[in-house]
Chains A and B, each alone.
Chain A
Protein backbone atom coordinates (compact mmCIF):
# COMPACT_ATOMS: atom_id res chain seq x y z
CA UNK A 1 0.00 0.00 0.00
CA UNK A 2 1.41 3.42 -0.92
CA UNK A 3 2.08 5.89 1.90
CA UNK A 4 -0.70 8.25 2.80
CA UNK A 5 -3.38 5.98 1.36
CA UNK A 6 -6.21 5.73 3.89
CA UNK A 7 -7.40 2.25 4.82
CA UNK A 8 -10.83 2.89 3.35
CA UNK A 9 -11.72 5.64 0.87
CA UNK A 10 -15.39 6.12 1.66
CA UNK A 11 -15.88 8.25 -1.43
CA UNK A 12 -14.92 5.29 -3.62
CA UNK A 13 -17.69 3.21 -2.08
CA UNK A 14 -20.17 6.02 -2.69
CA UNK A 15 -19.11 6.26 -6.34
CA UNK A 16 -19.49 2.54 -6.92
CA UNK A 17 -22.80 1.71 -5.26
CA UNK A 18 -24.49 0.63 -8.50
CA UNK A 19 -21.57 -1.52 -9.60
CA UNK A 20 -21.21 -3.04 -6.13
CA UNK A 21 -24.90 -3.96 -6.14
CA UNK A 22 -24.47 -5.65 -9.51
CA UNK A 23 -21.51 -7.76 -8.34
CA UNK A 24 -23.31 -8.56 -5.09
CA UNK A 25 -26.16 -10.00 -7.14
CA UNK A 26 -23.75 -12.07 -9.23
CA UNK A 27 -22.04 -13.24 -6.06
CA UNK A 28 -25.30 -14.40 -4.51
CA UNK A 29 -26.24 -16.28 -7.67
CA UNK A 30 -22.84 -17.99 -7.85
CA UNK A 31 -22.87 -18.85 -4.16
CA UNK A 32 -26.47 -19.87 -3.53
CA UNK A 33 -27.55 -21.69 -6.70
CA UNK A 34 -24.97 -24.41 -5.94
CA UNK A 35 -26.54 -24.88 -2.50
CA UNK A 36 -29.96 -25.23 -4.12
CA UNK A 37 -28.62 -27.74 -6.67
CA UNK A 38 -26.80 -29.54 -3.86
CA UNK A 39 -30.04 -29.82 -1.92
CA UNK A 40 -31.90 -31.13 -4.97
CA UNK A 41 -29.26 -33.85 -5.32
CA UNK A 42 -28.81 -34.58 -1.60
CA UNK A 43 -32.42 -35.07 -0.54
CA UNK A 44 -33.20 -38.04 -2.82
CA UNK A 45 -29.66 -39.39 -2.40
CA UNK A 46 -29.90 -39.06 1.38
CA UNK A 47 -33.30 -40.78 1.37
CA UNK A 48 -31.79 -43.60 -0.67
CA UNK A 49 -28.86 -43.88 1.79
CA UNK A 50 -31.26 -43.91 4.71
CA UNK A 51 -33.35 -46.66 3.18
CA UNK A 52 -30.50 -48.85 1.90
CA UNK A 53 -27.73 -48.45 4.45
CA UNK A 54 -25.10 -50.08 2.26
CA UNK A 55 -25.35 -47.18 -0.22
CA UNK A 56 -24.27 -44.71 2.45
CA UNK A 57 -20.56 -45.44 3.08
CA UNK A 58 -19.51 -45.34 -0.60
CA UNK A 59 -21.63 -42.23 -1.25
CA UNK A 60 -20.16 -40.46 1.75
CA UNK A 61 -16.61 -41.45 0.81
CA UNK A 62 -17.13 -40.13 -2.73
CA UNK A 63 -18.50 -36.84 -1.40
CA UNK A 64 -15.60 -36.52 1.05
CA UNK A 65 -13.00 -37.19 -1.63
CA UNK A 66 -14.62 -34.51 -3.83
CA UNK A 67 -14.57 -32.15 -0.88
CA UNK A 68 -10.88 -32.69 -0.35
CA UNK A 69 -10.08 -31.52 -3.89
CA UNK A 70 -9.01 -27.86 -3.60
CA UNK A 71 -11.48 -25.45 -5.21
CA UNK A 72 -8.86 -23.79 -7.39
CA UNK A 73 -7.79 -27.16 -8.80
CA UNK A 74 -11.38 -28.27 -9.33
CA UNK A 75 -12.22 -25.03 -11.17
CA UNK A 76 -9.24 -25.67 -13.43
CA UNK A 77 -10.28 -29.20 -14.23
CA UNK A 78 -13.73 -27.96 -15.26
CA UNK A 79 -12.38 -25.09 -17.36
CA UNK A 80 -11.58 -27.66 -20.04
CA UNK A 81 -15.23 -28.67 -20.37
CA UNK A 82 -17.23 -25.62 -19.46
CA UNK A 83 -14.84 -22.81 -20.42
CA UNK A 84 -14.38 -19.64 -18.41
CA UNK A 85 -18.05 -19.43 -17.48
CA UNK A 86 -20.17 -19.29 -14.35
CA UNK A 87 -20.86 -23.00 -14.67
CA UNK A 88 -17.17 -23.68 -14.05
CA UNK A 89 -17.56 -22.10 -10.60
CA UNK A 90 -21.01 -23.45 -9.79
CA UNK A 91 -20.40 -27.13 -10.58
CA UNK A 92 -17.49 -27.53 -8.12
CA UNK A 93 -19.34 -25.53 -5.45
CA UNK A 94 -22.36 -27.81 -5.91
CA UNK A 95 -20.16 -30.85 -5.46
CA UNK A 96 -18.72 -29.37 -2.24
CA UNK A 97 -22.14 -28.89 -0.67
CA UNK A 98 -22.82 -32.62 -1.01
CA UNK A 99 -20.26 -33.56 1.64
CA UNK A 100 -22.22 -31.55 4.25
CA UNK A 101 -25.76 -32.02 2.97
CA UNK A 102 -25.89 -35.79 2.40
CA UNK A 103 -24.82 -36.73 5.97
CA UNK A 104 -27.25 -34.17 7.37
CA UNK A 105 -30.18 -35.49 5.33
CA UNK A 106 -29.35 -39.03 6.49
CA UNK A 107 -28.91 -37.98 10.14
CA UNK A 108 -32.08 -35.92 9.92
CA UNK A 109 -34.10 -38.89 8.69
CA UNK A 110 -32.48 -41.06 11.34
CA UNK A 111 -33.64 -38.57 13.99
CA UNK A 112 -37.29 -39.35 13.26
CA UNK A 113 -38.58 -41.27 16.29
CA UNK A 114 -39.71 -44.78 15.45
CA UNK A 115 -43.16 -44.42 17.10
CA UNK A 116 -43.84 -41.46 14.77
CA UNK A 117 -43.01 -43.58 11.76
CA UNK A 118 -45.19 -46.41 13.00
CA UNK A 119 -48.07 -44.06 13.77
CA UNK A 120 -47.95 -42.66 10.23
CA UNK A 121 -47.93 -46.17 8.79
CA UNK A 122 -50.82 -47.19 11.04
CA UNK A 123 -52.79 -44.18 9.84
CA UNK A 124 -52.50 -45.61 6.36
CA UNK A 125 -49.79 -43.33 4.93
CA UNK A 126 -48.06 -44.83 1.92
CA UNK A 127 -44.29 -44.91 2.28
CA UNK A 128 -43.85 -42.02 -0.18
CA UNK A 129 -46.43 -39.90 1.59
CA UNK A 130 -44.91 -40.77 4.96
CA UNK A 131 -41.48 -39.61 3.85
CA UNK A 132 -42.75 -36.37 2.30
CA UNK A 133 -45.33 -35.40 4.91
CA UNK A 134 -43.86 -36.78 8.11
CA UNK A 135 -40.19 -37.73 7.96
CA UNK A 136 -38.77 -34.86 5.88
CA UNK A 137 -40.51 -32.14 7.95
CA UNK A 138 -39.13 -33.69 11.13
CA UNK A 139 -35.68 -33.83 9.53
CA UNK A 140 -35.81 -30.11 8.66
CA UNK A 141 -33.75 -28.78 11.62
CA UNK A 142 -30.84 -31.14 10.95
CA UNK A 143 -31.00 -30.54 7.19
CA UNK A 144 -31.11 -26.76 7.65
CA UNK A 145 -28.09 -26.97 9.96
CA UNK A 146 -26.20 -28.49 7.01
CA UNK A 147 -27.58 -25.95 4.55
CA UNK A 148 -26.32 -23.15 6.80
CA UNK A 149 -22.76 -24.50 6.77
CA UNK A 150 -22.92 -25.16 3.01
CA UNK A 151 -24.31 -21.71 2.21
CA UNK A 152 -21.82 -19.78 4.34
CA UNK A 153 -18.79 -21.62 2.95
CA UNK A 154 -20.11 -21.51 -0.60
CA UNK A 155 -20.55 -17.74 -0.42
CA UNK A 156 -17.01 -17.22 0.83
CA UNK A 157 -15.52 -19.66 -1.72
CA UNK A 158 -17.08 -17.90 -4.72
CA UNK A 159 -14.37 -15.23 -4.55
CA UNK A 160 -11.71 -17.80 -5.53
CA UNK A 161 -13.56 -18.15 -8.85
CA UNK A 162 -12.25 -14.70 -9.72
CA UNK A 163 -8.99 -16.41 -10.73
CA UNK A 164 -10.92 -17.66 -13.77
CA UNK A 165 -12.77 -14.36 -14.06
CA UNK A 166 -16.05 -15.46 -12.42
CA UNK A 167 -15.90 -14.50 -8.79
CA UNK A 168 -18.71 -12.03 -8.14
CA UNK A 169 -17.39 -9.65 -5.49
CA UNK A 170 -14.01 -11.37 -5.88
CA UNK A 171 -13.58 -8.99 -8.81
CA UNK A 172 -12.78 -6.20 -6.35
CA UNK A 173 -10.25 -8.37 -4.53
CA UNK A 174 -8.09 -8.93 -7.61
CA UNK A 175 -8.73 -5.37 -8.80
CA UNK A 176 -7.56 -3.94 -5.47
CA UNK A 177 -4.37 -5.98 -5.58
CA UNK A 178 -3.59 -4.89 -9.14
CA UNK A 179 -4.09 -1.23 -8.23
CA UNK A 180 -2.44 -1.57 -4.79
CA UNK A 181 -5.65 -0.03 -3.43
CA UNK A 182 -7.10 -1.61 -0.26
CA UNK A 183 -10.56 0.00 -0.32
CA UNK A 184 -12.12 -2.38 -2.88
CA UNK A 185 -10.56 -5.41 -1.16
CA UNK A 186 -11.93 -4.41 2.25
CA UNK A 187 -15.32 -3.51 0.80
CA UNK A 188 -15.62 -6.83 -1.02
CA UNK A 189 -14.43 -8.88 1.96
CA UNK A 190 -16.85 -7.16 4.33
CA UNK A 191 -19.73 -7.47 1.83
CA UNK A 192 -19.05 -11.19 1.38
CA UNK A 193 -19.12 -11.70 5.14
CA UNK A 194 -22.35 -9.72 5.40
CA UNK A 195 -23.94 -11.78 2.62
CA UNK A 196 -22.93 -14.96 4.43
CA UNK A 197 -24.28 -13.78 7.78
CA UNK A 198 -27.55 -12.44 6.36
CA UNK A 199 -28.08 -15.67 4.44
CA UNK A 200 -27.41 -17.61 7.63
CA UNK A 201 -29.93 -15.52 9.55
CA UNK A 202 -32.55 -15.99 6.81
CA UNK A 203 -32.00 -19.74 6.93
CA UNK A 204 -32.61 -19.77 10.69
CA UNK A 205 -35.81 -17.83 10.06
CA UNK A 206 -36.86 -20.24 7.30
CA UNK A 207 -36.35 -23.13 9.66
CA UNK A 208 -38.55 -21.50 12.27
CA UNK A 209 -41.28 -21.00 9.68
CA UNK A 210 -40.95 -24.59 8.47
CA UNK A 211 -41.10 -26.09 11.94
CA UNK A 212 -43.84 -24.18 13.77
CA UNK A 213 -44.22 -27.04 16.24
CA UNK A 214 -40.70 -26.53 17.54
CA UNK A 215 -41.39 -22.94 18.54
CA UNK A 216 -41.65 -22.21 22.21
CA UNK A 217 -39.78 -25.35 23.04
CA UNK A 218 -36.52 -23.56 22.29
CA UNK A 219 -35.52 -25.12 18.97
CA UNK A 220 -31.95 -26.23 19.33
CA UNK A 221 -30.66 -25.49 15.82
Chain B
Protein backbone atom coordinates (compact mmCIF):
# COMPACT_ATOMS: atom_id res chain seq x y z
CA UNK B 1 0.00 0.00 0.00
CA UNK B 2 2.81 2.33 0.96
CA UNK B 3 4.54 1.41 -2.23
CA UNK B 4 1.45 2.23 -4.28
CA UNK B 5 1.24 5.68 -2.70
CA UNK B 6 4.91 6.08 -3.37
CA UNK B 7 4.37 5.31 -7.05
CA UNK B 8 1.51 7.74 -7.27
CA UNK B 9 3.74 10.38 -5.68
CA UNK B 10 6.48 9.64 -8.23
CA UNK B 11 4.02 10.03 -11.10
CA UNK B 12 2.64 13.22 -9.56
CA UNK B 13 6.11 14.75 -9.23
CA UNK B 14 6.95 13.83 -12.79
CA UNK B 15 3.70 15.21 -14.17
CA UNK B 16 3.97 18.50 -12.30
CA UNK B 17 7.62 19.29 -13.02
CA UNK B 18 7.63 22.07 -15.58
CA UNK B 19 10.25 20.33 -17.76
CA UNK B 20 7.52 17.88 -18.73
CA UNK B 21 5.45 20.53 -20.40
CA UNK B 22 7.91 22.19 -22.80
CA UNK B 23 10.02 21.33 -25.81
CA UNK B 24 10.36 18.28 -28.01
CA UNK B 25 10.44 15.90 -25.08
CA UNK B 26 7.49 17.51 -23.31
CA UNK B 27 4.16 15.78 -22.86
CA UNK B 28 2.22 18.07 -25.26
CA UNK B 29 4.64 17.39 -28.11
CA UNK B 30 4.82 13.63 -27.46
CA UNK B 31 1.06 13.47 -27.10
CA UNK B 32 0.61 15.29 -30.40
CA UNK B 33 2.93 12.79 -32.12
CA UNK B 34 1.08 9.91 -30.54
CA UNK B 35 -2.29 11.26 -31.58
CA UNK B 36 -1.05 11.87 -35.13
CA UNK B 37 0.10 8.25 -35.55
CA UNK B 38 -3.00 6.82 -33.93
CA UNK B 39 -5.47 9.20 -35.59
CA UNK B 40 -4.13 8.72 -39.11
CA UNK B 41 -3.94 4.94 -38.81
CA UNK B 42 -7.41 4.77 -37.39
CA UNK B 43 -8.74 6.94 -40.20
CA UNK B 44 -7.24 4.74 -42.92
CA UNK B 45 -8.28 1.56 -41.12
CA UNK B 46 -11.84 2.87 -40.75
CA UNK B 47 -12.06 3.70 -44.45
CA UNK B 48 -10.83 0.24 -45.43
CA UNK B 49 -12.69 -1.73 -42.76
CA UNK B 50 -16.02 0.06 -43.18
CA UNK B 51 -15.96 -0.05 -46.97
CA UNK B 52 -15.27 -3.78 -47.17
CA UNK B 53 -17.38 -4.66 -44.16
CA UNK B 54 -20.43 -2.84 -45.54
CA UNK B 55 -19.90 -4.19 -49.04
CA UNK B 56 -19.56 -7.81 -47.95
CA UNK B 57 -22.27 -7.54 -45.30
CA UNK B 58 -24.73 -5.95 -47.73
CA UNK B 59 -24.10 -8.21 -50.71
CA UNK B 60 -23.33 -11.35 -48.69
CA UNK B 61 -20.51 -12.14 -51.11
CA UNK B 62 -16.97 -12.82 -49.94
CA UNK B 63 -17.90 -13.59 -46.33
CA UNK B 64 -15.40 -16.42 -46.13
CA UNK B 65 -12.60 -14.24 -47.50
CA UNK B 66 -13.33 -11.51 -44.94
CA UNK B 67 -13.23 -13.96 -42.06
CA UNK B 68 -9.98 -15.51 -43.28
CA UNK B 69 -8.21 -12.20 -43.89
CA UNK B 70 -9.29 -10.79 -40.54
CA UNK B 71 -8.15 -13.92 -38.72
CA UNK B 72 -4.78 -13.91 -40.46
CA UNK B 73 -4.29 -10.22 -39.74
CA UNK B 74 -5.04 -10.73 -36.07
CA UNK B 75 -2.15 -13.17 -35.84
CA UNK B 76 0.40 -10.59 -37.09
CA UNK B 77 2.58 -9.45 -34.20
CA UNK B 78 2.46 -5.66 -34.53
CA UNK B 79 5.74 -5.21 -32.68
CA UNK B 80 7.47 -7.40 -35.26
CA UNK B 81 5.78 -5.63 -38.15
CA UNK B 82 6.72 -2.13 -36.90
CA UNK B 83 10.35 -3.12 -36.41
CA UNK B 84 10.47 -4.99 -39.71
CA UNK B 85 9.03 -2.12 -41.72
CA UNK B 86 11.45 0.33 -40.11
CA UNK B 87 14.42 -1.97 -40.83
CA UNK B 88 13.38 -2.38 -44.46
CA UNK B 89 12.07 1.09 -45.30
CA UNK B 90 13.90 3.33 -42.87
CA UNK B 91 12.67 5.55 -40.11
CA UNK B 92 9.62 7.67 -40.91
CA UNK B 93 5.96 7.92 -40.07
CA UNK B 94 4.61 6.03 -43.08
CA UNK B 95 6.00 2.59 -42.11
CA UNK B 96 4.52 2.81 -38.65
CA UNK B 97 1.15 3.68 -40.15
CA UNK B 98 1.25 0.52 -42.27
CA UNK B 99 1.68 -1.64 -39.17
CA UNK B 100 -0.96 0.17 -37.16
CA UNK B 101 -3.48 0.07 -40.01
CA UNK B 102 -2.92 -3.68 -40.31
CA UNK B 103 -3.67 -3.94 -36.61
CA UNK B 104 -6.83 -1.83 -36.70
CA UNK B 105 -8.56 -3.15 -39.83
CA UNK B 106 -9.61 -6.61 -38.53
CA UNK B 107 -11.84 -5.55 -35.61
CA UNK B 108 -13.51 -2.83 -37.71
CA UNK B 109 -13.98 -5.11 -40.70
CA UNK B 110 -15.32 -8.09 -38.74
CA UNK B 111 -17.72 -6.07 -36.61
CA UNK B 112 -19.08 -4.06 -39.53
CA UNK B 113 -19.61 -7.22 -41.51
CA UNK B 114 -21.21 -9.12 -38.61
CA UNK B 115 -23.33 -6.10 -37.75
CA UNK B 116 -24.76 -5.72 -41.24
CA UNK B 117 -25.16 -9.44 -41.74
CA UNK B 118 -26.99 -9.74 -38.42
CA UNK B 119 -29.67 -7.22 -39.37
CA UNK B 120 -33.11 -8.79 -39.09
CA UNK B 121 -34.04 -10.03 -42.61
CA UNK B 122 -37.64 -8.93 -41.97
CA UNK B 123 -36.50 -5.33 -41.51
CA UNK B 124 -34.51 -5.57 -44.72
CA UNK B 125 -37.45 -7.04 -46.63
CA UNK B 126 -39.77 -4.38 -45.26
CA UNK B 127 -37.40 -1.66 -46.44
CA UNK B 128 -37.25 -3.21 -49.90
CA UNK B 129 -41.02 -3.57 -49.92
CA UNK B 130 -41.33 0.12 -49.21
CA UNK B 131 -39.42 0.72 -52.43
CA UNK B 132 -36.02 1.61 -51.00
CA UNK B 133 -33.04 1.18 -53.33
CA UNK B 134 -30.05 -0.90 -52.30
CA UNK B 135 -28.23 2.23 -51.14
CA UNK B 136 -31.18 3.40 -49.11
CA UNK B 137 -31.53 0.01 -47.45
CA UNK B 138 -27.83 0.13 -46.58
CA UNK B 139 -27.75 3.69 -45.25
CA UNK B 140 -31.17 3.96 -43.64
CA UNK B 141 -31.68 0.44 -42.29
CA UNK B 142 -28.56 -1.69 -42.19
CA UNK B 143 -26.03 0.87 -40.97
CA UNK B 144 -28.19 2.28 -38.15
CA UNK B 145 -29.07 -1.21 -36.96
CA UNK B 146 -25.47 -2.40 -37.17
CA UNK B 147 -24.18 0.73 -35.45
CA UNK B 148 -23.69 -0.74 -31.96
CA UNK B 149 -21.44 -3.48 -33.33
CA UNK B 150 -19.66 -1.12 -35.73
CA UNK B 151 -18.87 1.26 -32.86
CA UNK B 152 -17.65 -1.64 -30.74
CA UNK B 153 -15.25 -2.60 -33.52
CA UNK B 154 -14.05 1.00 -33.82
CA UNK B 155 -13.52 1.19 -30.07
CA UNK B 156 -11.49 -2.00 -29.95
CA UNK B 157 -9.42 -0.78 -32.91
CA UNK B 158 -8.88 2.67 -31.39
CA UNK B 159 -7.73 1.27 -28.08
CA UNK B 160 -5.39 -1.22 -29.70
CA UNK B 161 -3.91 1.48 -31.90
CA UNK B 162 -3.39 3.93 -29.03
CA UNK B 163 -1.80 1.13 -27.00
CA UNK B 164 0.39 -0.19 -29.77
CA UNK B 165 1.58 3.21 -31.00
CA UNK B 166 3.80 3.17 -27.88
CA UNK B 167 5.78 0.38 -29.49
CA UNK B 168 6.80 2.76 -32.30
CA UNK B 169 9.19 4.43 -29.87
CA UNK B 170 11.37 1.35 -29.77
CA UNK B 171 12.83 1.66 -33.27
CA UNK B 172 13.33 5.39 -32.65
CA UNK B 173 10.07 7.16 -33.43
CA UNK B 174 8.30 9.61 -31.18
CA UNK B 175 5.04 9.36 -29.32
CA UNK B 176 4.29 8.60 -25.71
CA UNK B 177 6.20 5.31 -25.83
CA UNK B 178 9.43 7.37 -25.81
CA UNK B 179 9.16 7.89 -22.06
CA UNK B 180 8.83 4.18 -21.41
CA UNK B 181 11.60 3.11 -23.78
CA UNK B 182 13.98 5.90 -22.70
CA UNK B 183 13.19 5.35 -19.05
CA UNK B 184 13.96 1.65 -19.40
CA UNK B 185 17.29 2.21 -21.12
CA UNK B 186 18.32 4.89 -18.59
CA UNK B 187 17.03 2.87 -15.66
CA UNK B 188 14.86 5.85 -14.72
CA UNK B 189 11.80 4.32 -13.13
CA UNK B 190 10.05 7.63 -12.65
CA UNK B 191 10.17 8.32 -16.38
CA UNK B 192 8.83 4.80 -17.14
CA UNK B 193 5.94 4.99 -14.73
CA UNK B 194 5.15 8.62 -15.56
CA UNK B 195 4.99 7.83 -19.27
CA UNK B 196 2.88 4.75 -18.58
CA UNK B 197 0.44 6.83 -16.57
CA UNK B 198 -0.04 9.26 -19.47
CA UNK B 199 -0.65 6.36 -21.89
CA UNK B 200 -3.15 4.75 -19.53
CA UNK B 201 -4.97 8.06 -19.12
CA UNK B 202 -5.15 8.49 -22.89
CA UNK B 203 -6.54 4.96 -23.35
CA UNK B 204 -9.21 5.59 -20.72
CA UNK B 205 -10.17 8.88 -22.41
CA UNK B 206 -10.58 7.01 -25.72
CA UNK B 207 -12.74 4.40 -24.00
CA UNK B 208 -14.92 7.13 -22.46
CA UNK B 209 -15.23 8.96 -25.79
CA UNK B 210 -16.60 5.85 -27.45
CA UNK B 211 -19.06 5.23 -24.64
CA UNK B 212 -20.32 8.80 -25.07
CA UNK B 213 -20.43 8.44 -28.85
CA UNK B 214 -22.54 5.30 -28.57
CA UNK B 215 -25.02 7.09 -26.32
CA UNK B 216 -25.19 9.94 -28.82
CA UNK B 217 -25.59 8.15 -32.13
CA UNK B 218 -27.20 4.77 -31.51
CA UNK B 219 -30.96 4.88 -31.97
CA UNK B 220 -32.82 4.57 -28.63
CA UNK B 221 -34.81 1.70 -30.13
CA UNK B 222 -31.64 -0.38 -30.20
CA UNK B 223 -30.49 0.34 -26.65
CA UNK B 224 -31.25 -3.03 -25.06
CA UNK B 225 -29.31 -4.77 -27.83
CA UNK B 226 -26.53 -2.22 -27.53
CA UNK B 227 -26.21 -2.77 -23.80
CA UNK B 228 -25.20 -6.36 -24.47
CA UNK B 229 -22.06 -5.48 -26.35
Q: Does B36 contact A (CB under 8 A)?
A: no
Within 8 A of B (CB), among A136-170: 149, 152-153, 155-160, 162-164, 167, 170
Min distance, Cβ A193 to any Cβ of chain B, angstroms: 5
Are A80's CB and B3's CB within 8 A?
yes
Interface of B is mostly: helix
Within 8 A of B (CB), among A185-200: 185-186, 188-189, 192-193, 196-197, 200
Q: Does A69 contact B (CB under 8 A)?
A: yes
Q: A64-B207, A73-B196 are in contact. Are A1 and B88 (CB under 8 A)?
A: yes
Are B200's CB and A69's CB within 8 A?
yes
Complex Cα gap A167–B170 (Å): 14
Return the chain B residue nearest A179 by Cβ: B87
Within 8 A of B (CB), among A80-128: 80
Over the window 157-175 of chain B, the binary record of Cβ atoms lying under 8 Å from chain A Cβ atoms (1 yes, 0 no) is: 0010011101100110000
Q: A68-B204, A182-B87, A197-B75 are in contact. Are A80 and B80 (CB under 8 A)?
A: no
Q: Which residues on A sit within 8 Å (CB–CB) of B75?
A: 152, 155-156, 192-193, 196-197, 200
Are A73's CB and B79's CB within 8 A?
no
Complex Cα gap A77–B192 (Å): 9
Q: Which residues on A sit within 8 Å (CB–CB) of B109?
A: none
Q: Which residues on B sit within 8 Å (CB–CB) of A71?
A: 163
Min distance, Cβ A8 to any Cβ of chain B, angstroms: 11
Min distance, Cβ A34 to any Cβ of chain B, angstroms: 15
Min distance, Cβ B148 to any Cβ of chain A, angstroms: 14
Q: Does B78 contact A (CB under 8 A)?
A: yes
Are B206's CB and A173's CB within 8 A?
no
Are A160's CB and B79's CB within 8 A?
yes
Return the chain B residue nearest A153 by Cβ: B74
Are B162's CB and A173's CB within 8 A?
no
User: What is the size category of the interface that chain A forms with chain B?
Assistant: 35 or more
A-B contact count (CB 8 A): 130
Q: A72-B177, A182-B84 are in contact. Are A177 and B184 (CB under 8 A)?
A: no
Q: How many residues of B contact A (CB 8 A)?
A: 41
Interface of A is mostly: helix
Are A192's CB and B77's CB within 8 A?
yes
Min distance, Cβ B95 to any Cβ of chain A, angstroms: 12
Q: Which residues on B sit within 8 Å (CB–CB) of A55?
A: none
Min distance, Cβ B14 to any Cβ of chain A, angstroms: 13
Q: Does B71 contact A (CB under 8 A)?
A: yes
Are B203's CB and A69's CB within 8 A?
yes
Over the window 1-43 of chain B, the binary record of Cβ atoms lying under 8 Å from chain A Cβ atoms (1 yes, 0 no) is: 0010001000000000000000000000000000000000000
Binding site for B on A (CB under 8 A): 1, 7, 64-65, 67-74, 76-77, 79-80, 149, 152-153, 155-160, 162-164, 167, 170, 173-174, 176-177, 180-182, 185-186, 188-189, 192-193, 196-197, 200
Q: A68-B207, A70-B163, A163-B181 are in contact. List 5 more A-B contacts (CB 8 A).
A: A68-B204, A73-B180, A76-B184, A188-B77, A197-B71
Closest 8 CB pairs of A and B: A70-B163, A189-B80, A196-B75, A73-B196, A156-B77, A159-B79, A68-B203, A192-B77
Show 18 residue pairs from A and B whose CB-CB distance is below 8 angstroms, ordered by the A residue: A68-B206, A68-B207, A69-B200, A70-B203, A77-B196, A79-B192, A80-B193, A152-B71, A153-B74, A158-B77, A162-B79, A163-B170, A163-B184, A164-B184, A180-B87, A189-B76, A192-B75, A197-B75
